Every structure is written in structure tokens, then in C-alpha cells.
Chains A and B, each alone.
Chain A
Amino acid sequence: MPSNSFDIKSYRGFQAITILCLIILYAPLIVVMIYSFNASKSITVWEGLSLRWYADVFTGPESGKFKLAAWNSFLIATIAATVATTIATLAATGMIRAGKFRLRNLSYGLISLPLMVPEIVTAVATLIFFNAIAFERGLMTILLAHIAFCIPFAYLPISARMQGIEDSYEQAALDLYATKRQAFTKILMPLMMPGIISGFLLAFIVSLDDFIITNFVKGAGVETLPTAIFGAVKQGIKPNIMAISTMLLGVSVVMVTISYFISKKDQKS
């Protein structure tokens, strides 16, 4: 990038700060990725490349615990993201394709509520709620809490997409004697797909990511990957944790990349 000194847009040092910013963002992740391939049992000494800790994650003494936690995490993320995406798609249709109505602002406030309340407060409130109605804590309480806070994350890309779709397609279908239901399922839904997929992926990652709320509402002995990792890290950072982290990091990056390319391809067409 040649910087022209007469260019009024460019400021000296801003490029360097941007590079520094990216280094700060990526250095910790890259370092952990590298050390997850370390043959040594110690986290400070480098003894050469090895897949030892990845094998340890799948077959080592703690593998049972981590496999169960991973299963719980992916099960909860899949169900929570599916339910939240469905709810968000219906809500977006009700907000954007169903005329003006009195409760519109209130509905919008309700949908964005989980984004405005600090996570730790949501965690406390949800725990208190389950306690007050004497709902036994376990996988189900984690799932319900995740569905709630995933809704706004699914809603944002879905509503953004819906606002970009003119209603002439649906009107054409209706003119050709399609029912409203057909216009919705055969015309609007397929056009909405990129938004729905992005919404699902965001909700999935947000659910997979959550530690604080899960930690509050989970039952004793029920673990998801983040709570299991947190418990293990309290005893010190071990190489197998770095291997798990690297794999989880890979899942997140792959999903965000998919979401990015879907939206990019969509913008082109």
C-alpha cells in the first residue's frame, strides 16, 4: 500500500497502529495454537511437533469428561440456534411484513432486551427465575436460557435481509392466486435463506461461546465445553486444554468464514 504524503486521507502512524491492532488480536491465539502441538508435558518448554495432546483429548484420562461436555455444547447450540432462528424469522416477518402496529417499538425493545442487559445480570436473573419456579437445574435450564439470548443475534441478520427484499415477488405470487402461506413458504423463505443461515450460525456460535450464563444455570455435574475448560484452567493451563481450545477456535473460524462468504456471494448476485 503506497502512502501518498499529499493524500489528505492518510495519517502517518495509522497503518502501523492497524498492524499492531491485528498483532494484539491474533498473537495470543496463534501462540496457543502453536503450543497445542508441543510434544512437551510442560507448557514453557518447546520439545518439537507432536499430536500427542490431541490424542490425549480423545483418549486420555480426561477424555470422557471432555467428550460429554462437547456433546452437551453442540447439542445445546444446535437446538438453541434452531429454535431461536425459527422464532426470530417469524418475529421479523411480523415486524417488517405485517404493517404498522402499536406494540412495534415495545416488541423491538423486547427482542433487543438480552443485548442491553449485561450478561452477568441475565445470568443472575435467569438463575433466580428457575429457582423461583422450582425448575430443577440441568441441561434443560441451559437450553432455555440459551434460546432466549440467541434470539436477538439470529434476529439482526434476518431482519436486515428481509428489509432488503422488495415485496413485489410476494405480490406477484399473490396476484397469481398463491395463498399467503404459499407466498411465505415458497417465495419469501427461499429469498430469506442467506439471512436465515447467517442468523443460525451467529446464534450457534454465541451459544457455543457462552460461559457466564451457562455457569449460573447449569445443574451440578452438568458441563458444557466452556464450563469444563474454565474448571480445568483454574488448576492451571495444561497442554490438552490448548488442544481443545485450538479445535474449538477452528470451529468458530470456519463458521464465521462460511457466514462471511454466504453474505458476500449474496451481495454480488
Chain B
Amino acid sequence: MASGAASGGSANTDTYEEARSWLLLPAWVTLVALSLIPVLLMLVYSFLTKEFRGGVIWEFSLAAYDQFFFDRGLFGDDPATLEWTYITIFWRSIWQAGAATLLSLLIGFPTAYFIATRPETSRPIWVFLVTIPYWVNLLIRTVSMKFLLRDQGPLNDLLIGLGLIDSPLHMVNTNFAVQLGLFYSYLPFMVLPIYAAVERYNFALSEAAADLYASKWTTLRRVLLPSVKPGVIAGCILVFVPSLGAFLAPDLLGGAKNFMIGSLIEEQFKGNAGNWPFGAAASMILLTMVLIILMIFARQQARAEREV
């Protein structure tokens, strides 16, 4: 992870060295108390016994993880077989997040490239245009998407009006709606790192390739893409990771059939399931997955930096 050292070095000084502990103390206290300790407590709770209707009994138990991975029949005394319900939900989440990432890449890459090749003065305006929707309330954006996609919604009206379809397309409560919702939620995260990478790219390399009779698409694939790969990977991670644990898009646009991890976890605490240790265990599994992805990514970025 970049620690953000200034290139000149003159900004990183030791002027306030003796006050350092006092300057950092409020951040340490707040984040240890409200971020670090809660995550560690969640780990503890995932190994406790559930209290009916929420909460826990302070008794060690592996029941939460057992319920996640194994099926022991209705009365719990059958031989354990693999439980597919929750693995399927996780798998569906990975698949949906992957599809949303691919969609974001297919639209985000050309957009980022187009913006990065505008004249220097107009680039900030384009970046601003792409980022504004991100700062609009996520709930409102998701609700707006649902409003647009409804069976009697404006999109269907438009398509019927244009004579493209005869009867409304059913889009809400489909996998596609969820993917579109996730795409809509996190698209700027794809565009910004790719934009930054293309902006730094030396177009003399493309010119050299063109001089050697490479076609434009060959140049894109064999010269540009390898150079901006770190930006592309960063964009994919920044879309994939929040999509994996998303709650609003699957809940509002997906309906019951398209249940994802976020809804599974939410149901344990806010819904009818009321099984806190199980919710904590599912959260731990999600967090572990995310941290592994981030670690692989950090290692790759570090290697890429060494190679340059």
C-alpha cells in the first residue's frame, strides 16, 4: 500500500515531531475502538452460541461455521454432508460481482481511455461528469434504477414507443438488473484508476508500434494494455470488492430469487433469521475473502512497481 511519500521530500518534515503522539492519538483511539476492536469482537461472536431472537450466549460453539458448511439433517444427527445453500449464495455473489465488474470494464475502459485522450484542459470536466453520480446517495440511485427498469417504467415505454418491443421487458428482479445496479453503484471506481494509468501512458510507444505496421487494435492489445494493466486491475478490484458485499442493489433490484451475501448477513441481524453467530461467521468469511483479494493485489502492485 502506498504510504504517500512526497516526491520532493520537503513536505515530509519533522516540525511537529514532539507532538506526534498527541496528533495521532485521536485517530488511533477512534479507529481502534470503533473499527479494529469491533472486527475482532465479530470474530469472537462467530464462535459463540446463538440466543434466539438476536444476541449471543457467551459459550464457545462451532455451530455457526458448522451450519454454514455442513448439513446434518433435520434433527442434526444424520452424517454430515456438504451444505450447499450458503455456498450457493456466496458463489452467486461472486458470479454477480464478477459480471458487474466485466460490465464496468467493458464500458469503463473505453470511457476512461476517451477521457484521458481529451485535451488537458477539458479532462477535469469529463472526470467530474463521471464522478458526480457517485456522490448522489446510493439508495436514491438504486431506487431510481428500479423506477427506470419497471415493467411500466420509462425505459419500457421508450422501447415500446420506438417500436423495438411489443410488450414490456421484464427487467426488475432479474440477475441483469442486479448487475446493472452494481455497475451503476461502482462505475467511477473502474474509470478513475484506468484514466490515471492511460494519462501516464507514453503514446510514443503506440506511435512506434504503428510505424512497425501494427494495426490499431494490435497496438491496443499488445502495447497499451500491458502498460496500463495495473490501473485495470485496480479498477476491477475496486468494483468487485464492494459488489461482493453489496446489499442495496441485490435487495431492491434482485428480489428473493437473487439473494446475495449482503442480504444473507442482513437477515441474521435485522430480519427474521436472528442468528447473530451465523451472521458474524458469514461476515468473517466475506472479510477473509476480501482481505485475500486485497493482499494478492497489493503484492502484485508492489511487484509491478519494482519492474518499472
Q: A residues within 8 Å of B by Cβ?
A: 8-11, 13-15, 17-18, 20-22, 24-29, 31-32, 35, 43-44, 86-88, 90-91, 93-101, 104-105, 107-114, 116-122, 124-129, 131-132, 144-145, 147-149, 151, 159-160, 162-168, 170-171, 174, 180, 183-184, 205, 208-209, 211-212, 215-216, 226, 229-230, 233, 237, 241-242, 245, 248-249, 252-253, 255-256, 260, 264
A200 to B270, CA, bound (A): 31
The residue that B147 contacts in the complex, of A28, A91, A211, A229, with Cβ under 8 A, is: A28
* Proximity string of chain B (275-303) to chain A, C-beta cutoff 8 Å, 1 when within and 0 when not: 01001100100110011001000000000
In the complex, the answer to whether A167 meets B130 with C-beta atoms within 8 Å is no
How far is the CB of B10 from the nearest CB of chain A, in Å?
A: 5
- The complex places the Cα of A149 from the Cα of B10 at a distance, in Å, of 30
CA distance A253 to B134 in the complex (A): 10
How many B residues touch the partner, as a band?
A: 35 or more
Query: Is A25 a contact of B187 with CB atoms below 8 Å?
Result: yes
Q: How far is the CB of A68 from chain B (nearest CB, A)?
A: 18
Q: Is the CB of A25 within 8 A of B133?
A: yes
User: Which residues on the A side are within 8 Å of B248 (C-beta)?
Assistant: 211-212
Within 8 A of A (CB), among B66-85: none
Binding site secondary structure of chain A = helix
Q: Is B13 part of the contact surface with A, judged by Cβ < 8 Å?
A: yes
Report chain B residues within 8 Å CB of A170: 13, 15
Within 8 A of A (CB), among B1-53: 1, 3-4, 6, 8, 10-17, 19-24, 26-28, 30-32, 34-39, 41-42, 45
Contact of A226 among B108, B139, B242 (CB under 8 A): B139
Do residues B39 and A117 form an inter-chain contact, with CB atoms below 8 A?
yes
Indicate if B245 sits at the interface (CB-CB under 8 A): yes
Inter-chain CA distance A20–B117, complex, in Å, is 18
- The answer to whether A126 and B34 touch across the interface, beta carbons within 8 angstroms, is yes
Q: Tell me if B31 and A119 are in contact (CB < 8 A).
A: no
Residues B138 and A9 in contact, CB atoms below 8 Å apart? no
Chain B residues with Cβ below 8 Å from A14 are: 110-111, 113-114
Q: What chain B residues lie within 8 Å of A111 (beta carbons)?
A: 27, 31
* B261 CB → nearest A CB, Å: 8
